[in-house]
Amino acid sequence: MPIDKNQVKKVAKLSRISLEDNKIDSLSKDLDSILTFVEKLNELDTKEIKTLKSIADKTLEARNDIVDDGKIKDDILKNSPEKNEDFFIVPKVIE
Amino acid sequence: MSKEKFDYFIKTENNNWEVIIGLEVHAQVISNSKLFSGSSTKFGGKPNTQVSLVDAAFPGMLPVINKYCIEQAIKTGLGLNAKINLLSIFDRKNYFYADLPAGYQISQYKNPIVGEGSVTLDMPYGTKVVGIERLHLEQDAGKSIHDLSPDKTYVDLNRSGVALMEIVSKPDLRSPDEVNSYVKKLRTIMRYLGTCDGNMQEGSLRADVNVSVRKKGEKKFGTRCEIKNVNSIRFMEMAIESEAKRQIEILESGKKIDQETRLFDTKKNETRSMRSKEEAHDYRYFPDPDLLPLEIEQSFVDSLKKNLPELPDQKKDRFIKDFKISPYEANVLVSDNNISLYFEDVIKNSDIKLAKNWIIVELFAVLNKKNLDIKNSPVSSKNLAKLINSISSGEISGKIAKQVFEVMVNTGDDPSKIIKEKGLKQQSDPKELEKIVKIVLDKNTDKVQQFKSGKEKLYGFFVGEIMKASSGKANPKLVNDILKKELKK
Amino acid sequence: MVDLNNISLTEIVKLVKLKKVSSLELTNHYIKNIEKGKKLNCFITTCFDETIKKSKTFDAKKNYDSLLPGIPIAVKDLFCTKDVKTTAGSKILENFVPTYESTVTSNLWKEGAVLLGKLNCDEFAMGSSNETSFFGNVINPIEKDLVPGGSSGGSSSALAASFTPATIGTDTGGSIRQPASFTGTVGLKPTYGLCSRWGIVAFASSLDQAGPMTKNVEDCALMLEAISSYDKKDSTSINKKKENYSKNLNKNIKGMKIGIPKEYRVDNMPKEIEQLWSKGIDILKKSGVKIIDISLPHTKYALPTYYIVAPAEASSNLARYDGVKFGYRSNKGKNLIEMYENTRGEGFGDEVKRRVLIGTYVLSSGYYDAYYLKAQKVRKLIKKDFDNSFKKVDAILTPSTPSSAFKIGEKTSDPISMYLNDIFTVPVNLAGLPAISLPAGQDSKGRPLGLQLISNSLDEQRMLNIAFAIESEIKFKQNLNRWWE
């Protein structure tokens, strides 16, 4: 049994997703079966295997240090659920 | 500077405690545009005007790395005598915060671009080598503004995505003074290289300070706490002291230190816990699949190394060797590349000894008072050289030179112009001086008699009168010779 | 009068270029089909006024020198389209209007096409039946209660029902090929990096690829040519010259070697699929192709690998949906953390939540090595299997799916049974290779079945040619009776 209800709650907290109490049981069952399914990989010995650098067959390209973006404040703020002319607005963080 | 012994230990009734400090310095990279996007990095822009779709993490946006930022990191690594890793990887550091639009920061975890290096400090008790663990590139976050509203936070993403170099030291520091010296040295090196302006008031340089304590003589490290985001050297010193004392108090009462993240409260001068114990961050690092590993050619590193400017340590050694000045003075002169450039310009054709004294004592006093950078010095290097030469040549005395200097500070004028206009040229004509000496002595024959009968203190009185009579311009050495001669008569 | 519902895109383009039909006529035709077809629930957003305007503009100019002159095309609602709502099938983006256009759709408009609307899909591309969309499930035009496949279910359904002459979807684990197979259409997933990901709502960055969905192979070549491009805004985009896939399309496959991987013959595979596969093999043999048995030994580990890697990347890619910059924000929550939790709890559907939680779990401290790192290592083994095979063969032939389209609601109670739909398609994404699904027959209930060709990296031309050859021999025909009108 790879995952139980308490771990599900912890992971939900890490993912910042609220879970309804009546859904936690079925969700835990689903996650448990998925994790059991993926544990099939334990059949393989991969100690000596190195991962791929990337699935893209190329090397990292870099751009020149020129300013060619930004200055689009209205576009940036346009879709925000709460904002004023200059800022995004969110409920306060409690520190 | 006398050689003192290192002695920063916190003494309590029963114990002698040693403080162990490690620093994670975040230095904003000097570049035009951000690490993974093309928006501007300029400080002080109007909110959210330097934000691209990539910076704000809109759906479908992707990072593209800035070539120059890579260069700046390598140069900094070379300046720290560190190993440059030809293969490094960008990882996502996942956490949620209002000023982190993507919900992750692109950083480097197990494979940073720069490996181990070192920084050398000149402390009163000798040289101290501080180990560097690593340097990596990462994105800066935006700004959360909490005090514009009682229940809302305002978010400005201008800074989101600016390139940062995180420089992690080994836990080699042992006192607030060493931390002070270390941060200043790092800043100087990066300023020399032009990779970071080190401007702490603008946030270009900040540090997370890791502090632990142990009884003097113990080998094991104690549990450390991290004090986050300290943005001035003075606060770092204060935070270290208060945190060390807090930990000592806990340990001496028999309890254990909880490893946690803390904030330094500058008003209360104490650290306080930042997160509740269960909110331990699990950053779930994994290689960013939108990027590929960064592969650098050794030839590229070599070419950057070849073109590095002379660094503070090399310059200091050269100054000591070539100009025969003391290590302390050399340190002061190289602490800022602009100062060393100024100095070398002045001594191109003027006396080194006078030059260093005039810069370190007189000029610095003025700059400090007026809160100016040497780049904005009211006295140019050329003019200071001229002033020094007029002392060396005997044209004016050292005392008069101070007067001239004051005028130069206020007007920026050429000293020869000032000397001429104010007629401050030193009186060095022996015939003229003889006249003045004779007049003074004639006016004070009774005192001359007293001097001759033993009141030697009156010598100073005669000198004073001669100076007065010559408006201070009499060449002191000549006055001495002539006065002695006359008094013997 | 030409029956626009039953001719290919290529033929439509010819008609436009010959001035036999105008862009406006095409647009009006598809609008009519769409408005009569609301039952299928293919569209999340339509923008008909704009489409008509653009068609009129196109007809007014006389430059028909482009690949898709004046052709109205609807696209999956995962592509950000400027000023047109883009939802990714999710409540959390239900009112998001991008101020930018994805590179792939830009390429379509550059070639003369005009946007008809945004097609329904599984939420954030997570699903194999288009039953996880916030905007309701999509129905397969083949038959009333059938799923169209997923996640590009709206795309495959709209295409089969002729609501659009061609379309584009995205494929992360089979989301183009599987719905193509379920609806009797052609779907192609290109080599990873051939098409730009810039402006596509990201699901799993190392697996996502945009690709064409069309009625036949010739159309597929044309669409692939239109959308593929090097994009320096995407660091994973491959820098290569654009190829003329449609001009160079041919059926000269004699002498080629096609591999048949034994591991794709799974337990309890329906007989009809076996027969279809054999049919494909026979056709190839008759065309002078050499059939070679190959082994892809790590095939059975592909699905578990995928269900670690994809959710992990998704959990990170979906962290930006926090109610701050765009999208839905819950009005519950006294502070920032509560706002996040409620926004995402209310804004994400169940499947998305499952995958984000799995993804977070497999990346978390203590589990990273056992799950994520392990999966990445197995991924390398899977890729190596293919690399080794392509030393011996030019392409690989397999079935596209382990079954034909199933009934709505049939597999929603067990996530694993849903995941098993992708058993033949997922290995391809893990290896970053190109693959195409073409309709090859029907099962006993008349539901379409597809065959999949897998090729080596950047070998799309040859893959299209082989598909073209098979298609011309199979002569698959699908006559829908438009029961939804």
Encode pLDDT of B247-291 as tens digits: 999 999 999 998 888 999 988 899 988 765 445 679 999 999 999
C71 within a domain of the structure (yes/no):
yes
C47 within a domain of the structure (yes/no):
yes
Predicted TM-score of the model (pTM): 0.92
Count: domains in chain C = 1
Residues of C in contact with A9 (CB under 8 A): none
Which residue of chain A is at minimal alpha-carbon distance from C209?
Answer: A56
Any B CB within 8 A of C367 CB = no
Of residues C344, C348, C378, nearest to A46 (C-beta): C378
Residues of B in contact with C313 (CB under 8 A): 289
Mean pLDDT computed over B358-367: 94
CA distance A13 to A11: 5
Test C378 with A18 for CB contact under 8 angstroms. Answer: no
* Active-site annotation holds for C8: no
Test A77 with B146 for CB contact under 8 angstroms. Answer: no
Locate B443 and state its tokens.
Answer: 């006016």
C380 within a domain of the structure (yes/no):
no
Test A76 with B51 for CB contact under 8 angstroms. Answer: yes
CA distance C361 to C307: 12
Locate C8 and state its tokens.
Answer: 């290919």
Of the candidates C133, C127, C128, C161, which has an alpha carbon nearest to the alpha carbon of residue C37?
C161
Residues of C in contact with A41 (CB under 8 A): 301, 304-305, 308, 374-375, 378
Residues of B in contact with C86 (CB under 8 A): 59
* Active-site annotation holds for C286: no
Residues of B in contact with C318 (CB under 8 A): 103
Test C307 with A15 for CB contact under 8 angstroms. Answer: no
Which residue of chain A is at minimal alpha-carbon distance from C367?
Answer: A2
Residues of B in contact with A58 (CB under 8 A): 292
Test C344 with A75 for CB contact under 8 angstroms. Answer: no
Which residue of chain B is at minimal alpha-carbon distance from A57?
Answer: B292
CATH number of the structural domain spanning residue C140 = 3.90.1300.10
For residue A64, give the amino acid letter: N
Which residue of chain C is at minimal alpha-carbon distance from B38?
Answer: C233
CA distance C149 to C171: 12
**Closest Cα in chain B, distance from residue A57 (Å):** 10
The confidence band for C415, taking pLDDT boundaries of 50, 70 and 90, is confident
Q: Which chains share 3+ C-beta pairs under 8 angstroms with A?
A: B, C
Top-confidence residue, B438 or C459: C459
Test C320 with B98 for CB contact under 8 angstroms. Answer: no
For residue C131, give the amino acid letter: E
**Closest Cα in chain C, distance from residue B225 (Å):** 20
CA distance B357 to B362: 7
Residue B124: per-residue pLDDT: 87
Mutate to test the interface with B, among A60, A64, A82 (most CBs of B within 10 A): A60
CA distance B32 to B79: 21
In the three-class reduction of DSSP (H, G, I as helix; E, B as strand; rest coil), residue B140 is classed as: coil
CA distance C276 to C424: 15
Encode pLDDT of A13-45 as tens digits: 999 999 999 999 999 999 999 999 999 999 999
Burial of B129 (0-12, 13-18, 19+ CB in 10 A): exposed
Q: What percent of chain A has pLDDT over 70?
A: 97
Show the beta-strand stretches assigned E in A9-57: none
Cα angle B8, B14, B20; round to 5: 35
Residues of C in contact with B152 (CB under 8 A): none
Q: Residue B232: what are its φ and ψ, rounded to 5°?
A: -150, 155
List, by residue range, all CATH 1.10.10.410 domains of chain B: 430-487
In the three-class reduction of DSSP (H, G, I as helix; E, B as strand; rest coil), residue B427 is classed as: strand
Encode pLDDT of C435-472 as tens digits: 999 999 999 999 999 999 999 999 999 999 999 999 99
What residue spans of B216-275 are helical by DSSP H?
233-252
Q: Token pair 């979807």 is at which residue? A: C169
Residue B280: per-residue pLDDT: 61
Cβ contacts of residue B431 below 8 Å, gap of 6+?
A: none
User: Which helix (H) or strand (E) covers residue B38, if one does?
Assistant: none
DSSP secondary structure string for all residues of B309-370: PPPHHHHHHHHHHHH---HHHHHHHHSSHHHHHHHHHHGGGS-HHHHHHIIIIIIHHHHHHT
Of the candidates C22, C430, C480, which has an alpha carbon nearest to the alpha carbon of residue C189?
C430
Encode pLDDT of C375-385 as tens digits: 999 999 999 99
Domain that holds residue C57: 4-257
Mutate to test the interface with C, among B286, B288, B292 (most CBs of C within 10 A): B286
Q: What is the DSSP letter of A50?
A: P
Mean pLDDT of chain B: 93
Q: Is the pLDDT of residue B185 over 60?
A: yes
Residue B472: per-residue pLDDT: 82
Residue B276: per-residue pLDDT: 52
**Closest Cα in chain A, distance from residue B96 (Å):** 8
Test A61 with C239 for CB contact under 8 angstroms. Answer: yes
**Closest Cα in chain B, distance from residue C230 (Å):** 14
Test A38 with C371 for CB contact under 8 angstroms. Answer: yes
Encode pLDDT of C4-40 as tens digits: 999 999 999 999 999 999 999 999 999 999 999 999 9
Interface of B with C (CB under 8 A): 53, 56-65, 92, 94, 96, 98, 101-104, 153, 155, 282, 284-286, 289-292
Residue B279: per-residue pLDDT: 56
Encode pLDDT of C166-221 as tens digits: 999 999 999 999 999 999 999 999 999 999 999 999 999 999 999 999 999 999 99
Residue B1: per-residue pLDDT: 45
C89 within a domain of the structure (yes/no):
yes
Q: Token pair 């916190």 is at which residue? A: B10
Of residues A14, A64, A89, nearest to B67 (C-beta): A64
Q: Is the pLDDT of residue C243 over 90?
A: yes
* Active-site annotation holds for C181: no
Beta bridge partners of residue A34, listed in sequence order? none
Q: Residue C47: what are its φ and ψ, rounded to 5°?
A: -140, 55
C253 within a domain of the structure (yes/no):
yes
C270 within a domain of the structure (yes/no):
no
Of the candidates B44, B26, B35, which has an alpha carbon nearest to the alpha carbon of residue B202?
B44
Q: Residue B370: what are its φ and ψ, rounded to 5°?
A: -90, 5
Mean pLDDT computed over C87-98: 97
Test A16 with C334 for CB contact under 8 angstroms. Answer: no
Considering the candidates C151, C155, C287, C455, report the single residue annotated as catalytic.
Answer: C151
CATH number for B430-487: choose from 3.40.190.10, 3.40.50.1980, 1.10.10.410, 1.10.1660.10.
Answer: 1.10.10.410
C57 within a domain of the structure (yes/no):
yes
3-state secondary structure string across chain C: CCCHHHCCHHHHHHHHHCCCCCHHHHHHHHHHHHHHCHHHCCEEEECHHHHHHHHHHHHHCCCCCCCCCCCEEEEECCECECCECCCCCCHHHCCCCCCCCCHHHHHHHHCCCEEEEEECCCHHHCCCCCCCCCCCCCCCCCCCCECCCCCCHHHHHHHHCCCCCCEEEEECCCCCHHHHHHHCCEEEECCCCCCCCCCECCCCCCCCEEEEEECCHHHHHHHHHHHCCCCCCCCCCCCCCCCCCCCCCCCCCCCCEEEEEHHHCCCCCCHHHHHHHHHHHHHHHHCCCEEEEECCCCHHHHHHHHHHHHHHHHHHHHHHCCCCCCCCCCCCCCCHHHHHHHHHHHHCCHHHHHHHHHHHHHHCCCCCHHHHHHHHHHHHHHHHHHHHHCCCCCEEEEECCCCCCCECCCCCCCHHHHHHHHCCCHHHHHHCCCEEEEEEEECCCCCEEEEEEEECCCCHHHHHHHHHHHHHHHCCCCCCCCCCC
Locate B301 and state its tokens.
Answer: 């590193």
Test A38 with C432 for CB contact under 8 angstroms. Answer: no
Residues of A in contact with C379 (CB under 8 A): 51-52
Low-confidence winner among A38-47, A72-81, B472-481 (lowest mean pLDDT): B472-481
C164 within a domain of the structure (yes/no):
yes
Residues of A in contact with B155 (CB under 8 A): 87-90
**Closest Cα in chain B, distance from residue C429 (Å):** 14
CA distance B474 to C198: 81
User: HSE (CB half, 13 Å, CA atoms) of C212?
Assistant: 28
